[in-house]
Amino acid sequence: MPRGRYSLHDPHDHTPFAAEHFHCAPGPSGWRYVSQLTSPSGDHRGSVDLALDDLGRPIRLELHAASWQVRGAALDGVTWVRTDPTGAHATEGNVRAHAFTGTSPAFLIAVTRLLRLTPSDSATRLRLVAFTEPVLAPRTVDQSWALLKRETHSTDNGPLTVDEYQVTALDTGEQHLVHIAGDVVLSAPGIELEDLESPPSVT
């Protein structure tokens, strides 16, 4: 069960905005990721709880940030309920999309488990619902993912396979690289792995 800490920052000006303390593990029905977020001053900032089925589809998502809450799942595309800080004005949403995304590294792992790409595959297009900080406002985005290469490195804990993905935002054409080993993000825009207590799970 990988357990560790990511630092999250603005990918453009590198301003730090959170530390994400996480643990994740494959289970009998898929994969689950749980994390708590703290601000640079150490205050509680939010949480992530994401469970996937064995095909990589989100069967449960629960996000908390700035007193806002989102609960969602794959249902007729993806469906969610977003609740305001007072709890008086819950809103529902549904989009014909493949999965959810957001600032947490969990969502990058979730996409790779959904797509199951190999280096010989062509780029795959998918539609995602992004919940943007700090109020978890939903926004539909279209991306293209390609697995550029897969390399195995020797470590003290045995071989480590690292996948390099190229992610393209289809509305702007902006591209960036994501490096993932098993169910841990090694590097991505706005994300740095600061501490890892145990090796990644093999996906």
pLDDT by residue (tens digit) across 62-88?
Answer: 999 988 999 999 999 999 999 988 878
pLDDT tens column, 96-153: 999 999 999 999 999 999 999 999 999 999 999 999 988 999 999 999 999 999 999 8
pLDDT score recorded for residue 203: 60
Q: How far apart are CA 118 and CA 196, in angstroms?
A: 26
> Can you list the pairs that 7-14 forms with residues at least 24 positions away whose Cβ atoms lie under 8 Å?
7/191, 7/192, 7/194, 8/37, 8/103, 8/190, 8/191, 9/190, 9/192, 10/190, 11/176, 11/189, 11/190
203 or 18, higher pLDDT: 18
pLDDT score recorded for residue 38: 96
Q: How far apart are CA 70 and CA 53, in angstroms?
A: 19
Which tokens is 20 given? 């994400």
Dihedral of CA 101/107/9/187: which sign?
negative
Q: Per-residue pLDDT for 166 more than 90?
A: yes
Average pLDDT, the chain: 94
Q: Are the beta carbons of 189 and 168 closer than 8 angstroms?
A: no
Q: What is the pTM of this model?
A: 0.95
Largest CA distance in the chain: 54
Return the bridge partners of 29, or none.
Answer: none
pLDDT tens column, 23-55: 999 977 899 999 999 999 999 999 999 999 999
Q: How far apart are CA 136 and CA 90, in angstroms?
A: 13
pLDDT score recorded for residue 28: 76
